[in-house]
Amino acid sequence: MNYVFTGPESSGKTTLAKLLTEKRGGVYIPEFAREYLADLGREYTQNDLLEIAKGQYKLQQEAKKQSDKVICFDTDLLTIKIWSEVKYGNCDEWILDRLYSNQDAFYILCKPDFPWEYDELRENPNDRNELFELYKNELEALNFPYVISTGTLEERIEALTRRRTL
């Protein structure tokens, strides 16, 4: 089984994705946006979100072809769709056409129930709970299997392990 970690900024996605990768001896697929934005040298635009989506999609498709291990995706196109709609009011058709590319994965929706941590690439500390609800509503509308991960890191690990998600 493959896993997609999703949710608002600073909600534990990367930490949990890396932990699960280590625990399962799997393959970790990073968030392409971090690399793209770190090298951009200017404010990003909606066009950049499309390029980020294409990069994320390519990483994911390559990983699926090359690995028979568990794959842990530190985000996917769902995140880019939601962010594009929040920031720009719409989403590119290319992204929407590929939104189901990980429908066979199990989604772990990370709740932002601990303090936001500054990161030069993060920009949304104040409405993480509203964004969390958008993620939850999208996962339900798409009928993707998911579980909500909440609490401290230790509580999240324990709950996911108890559910046999990890």
For residue range 55-97, list pLDDT tens digits in order: 999 999 999 998 789 999 999 999 999 999 999 999 999 999 9
Kindly report, residue by residue over 88-127, the tens digit of the pLDDT. Answer: 999 999 999 999 999 899 999 999 998 777 677 777 778 8
Domain definitions of the chain by residue range: 3-162
CA pair distance 53, 66, nearest whole angstrom: 20
Range 141-148, long-range pairs (CB < 8 A, 24+ positions)? 142/78, 142/99, 142/100, 142/103, 144/78, 144/102, 144/103, 144/105, 144/107, 145/106, 145/107, 146/6, 146/106, 146/107, 146/108, 146/109, 147/106, 147/107, 147/108, 147/109, 148/109, 148/111
Assigned fold of 3-162: Rossmann fold (3.40.50)
